[in-house]
Amino acid sequence: MSTPTGAPLAYRPELNGVRALAVWLVVVQHWVAPPIMMGEMGRQMFFVLSGYLISGIVWKQQVYPGAPGAWGQRLGTFYLRRLLRIIPPYYCALALSALLPLATIQDYPVWFLLPAANHLFYSLQRWGEGLGHLWTLAVDEQFYLLWPALLAVVGRRWQGLLLVGVGGLAFRVGWSLLVTPGFVLVLLPSSLDLFVAGTLLRLFEKSEGLARWVRGRNALLAWALWWTLWALLHRHNGGATWLMVFPTVGAMASFLTLGWLLHHPTAARRAGLLHPVLLWLGKRSFGTYLYHLLLPVFWQRLVYKLYPAGSEWREFLLAPLPTVLVLAPLLILLSAASWRFIEAPLDRLKRHVRYAPTATPISAK
């Protein structure tokens, strides 16, 4: 028998609160460059959340190769919906980058249009001005392409998924030792353990056994371990040892954190994740991420043009606090405009792109 599909996964507002905190951790890291690691916490949380959400869609809508019924049509719908969600806002950010102009996008436009910015930065072994953050979006897009096929092979077998996650750690170690540790994290296999952590959370989210583990104190202990390893290892051997191990620890910490919030809604409320401001910012987190590195470039060029070298005003205005006070409202306005004029209309359009019915077995009575 067939069942109609197309209904979205259950809306979990606390996840928008998580998105807001995660993206602003990244923003503060890039704008202020504090002496402690913050932005990677946000990035790792985003990748684990992607694994959780995308795996849920793949399983619910049966969009993996070989699924019963018209799986090819459903897979095409999956990719079309992803394209509508990601590509138009992304291309708008690229257009603004070209207008600034940023040299990297002018010199290597095809890499960004594909998108394959992560491979560009790996081949250059350096970041592009105002565009370095786009490697994560490229990895996400490559993850969307890979994951339905991988889940078709692995299925819901946790042992197979765990093996894929271990493969991410093994790749980082092997590549760092045999090739180079430089920019190894921008390659998709380096993030497999993060995506797998989200997939396992989706697989076991209703398990009673999981509920015993996903507690606030366990999440705090996992992040404490993450910070401890950072303090001990990030200066050792140029940080190469830290690069090998910290995504796996971050995957476990993110798994426990998201699992705790999903299993204990009152915890999300107590943590402030359901505050209206955070929910509003979370909905606009994609635009925030897209534009957050463009603004410092614009600000620096403006200040350099207005004030000569050696000017006290130049030094003052480019300091962390004035930069944040000036750019944060601008970034919020940009992300709000992106949501209002691009993302929200596309989201309404996406609702009309429905999945073909899935074939489900009739349960025995």
3-state secondary structure at position 2: strand
Q: What is the dihedral of CA 112, 170, 155, 358, to 10 degrees?
A: -10
Cα separation, 172 vs 185, whole angstroms? 7
Cα separation, 115 vs 95, whole angstroms? 14
* Tokens of residue 331, six digits: 């970034």
* Tokens of residue 35, six digits: 């002496």
Look at strands 2-3 and 358-359 and give their pairing: antiparallel
Assign 8 a pLDDT band (cuts: 50, 70, 90): low
What is the tens place of the pLDDT at every residue in 148-202? 999 999 999 999 999 999 999 999 999 999 999 899 999 999 999 999 999 999 9
Task: Please determine, for residue 313, whether its predicted confidence score (pLDDT) is greater than 80.
Answer: yes
| Confidence at residue 9, expressed as pLDDT on a 0 to 100 scale | 63
Please choose, from the candidates 33, 49, 40, 18, the residue with its C-alpha nearest in 3D space to the C-alpha of residue 255.
Answer: 49
- Count CB neighbours of 13 within 10 A: 15
Percentage of residues of the chain with pLDDT beyond 70: 95
Length of the chain: 365
| Confidence at residue 5, expressed as pLDDT on a 0 to 100 scale | 44
What is the tens place of the pLDDT at every residue in 214-269? 999 999 999 999 999 998 888 887 778 888 899 999 999 999 999 999 988 898 89
What is the tens place of the pLDDT at every residue in 118-144? 999 999 999 999 999 999 999 999 999
| Confidence at residue 3, expressed as pLDDT on a 0 to 100 scale | 40
Q: Which helix (H) or strand (E) holds 194?
A: helix 192-204
Scan for tokens 């509508």, then name that residue: 84
Task: Please determine, for residue 316, whether its predicted confidence score (pLDDT) is greater than 90.
Answer: yes
CB 290 within 8 A of CB 90: yes
3-state secondary structure at position 114: coil
- Could you give the C-alpha distances from 204 to 10, 59, 119, 160, in angstroms and in order? 16, 13, 33, 14
What is the tens place of the pLDDT at every residue in 103-116? 999 999 999 999 89
Q: Which helix (H) or strand (E) holds 358?
A: strand 358-359
Look over the chain and give the mean of its residue pLDDT values, rounded to a whole number: 92
The DSSP secondary structure of 207-259, one letter per residue, reads -HHHHHH--HHHHHHHHHHHHHHHHHHTTGGGGHHHHHHHHHHHHHHHHHHHH
CA torsion sign for 315, 318, 324, 330 is positive
| Confidence at residue 165, expressed as pLDDT on a 0 to 100 scale | 97
Q: Which residues of 203-224 are buried (b: 16+ CB within 10 A; e: fewer)?
A: bbbeeeebeeebbeebbeebbe
* Tokens of residue 57, six digits: 């869609």
| Confidence at residue 42, expressed as pLDDT on a 0 to 100 scale | 96
CB 157 within 8 A of CB 199: no
| Confidence at residue 212, expressed as pLDDT on a 0 to 100 scale | 84
- Count CB neighbours of 285 within 10 A: 22
Residue 45, classified by CB atoms within 10 Å of its CB into exposed (0-12), middle (13-18) or buried (19+), is buried
CA torsion sign for 287, 288, 289, 294 is positive
What is the tens place of the pLDDT at every residue in 83-93? 999 999 999 99
Q: Which residue has the higher pLDDT, 21 or 357?
A: 21
The amino acid that residue 353 corresponds to is V
Q: What is the dihedral of CA 303, 307, 308, 309, to 10 degrees?
A: -50
Percentage of residues of the chain with pLDDT beyond 90: 81
Backbone angles phi, psi at 359, to 5 degrees: -95, 125
Q: Where are the domains of the chain?
A: 2-359
Please choose, from the candidates 7, 4, 153, the residue with its C-alpha nearest in 3D space to the C-alpha of residue 69.
Answer: 4
| Confidence at residue 363, expressed as pLDDT on a 0 to 100 scale | 37
What is the tens place of the pLDDT at every residue in 68-83? 999 999 999 999 999 9
Backbone angles phi, psi at 11, to 5 degrees: -75, 125
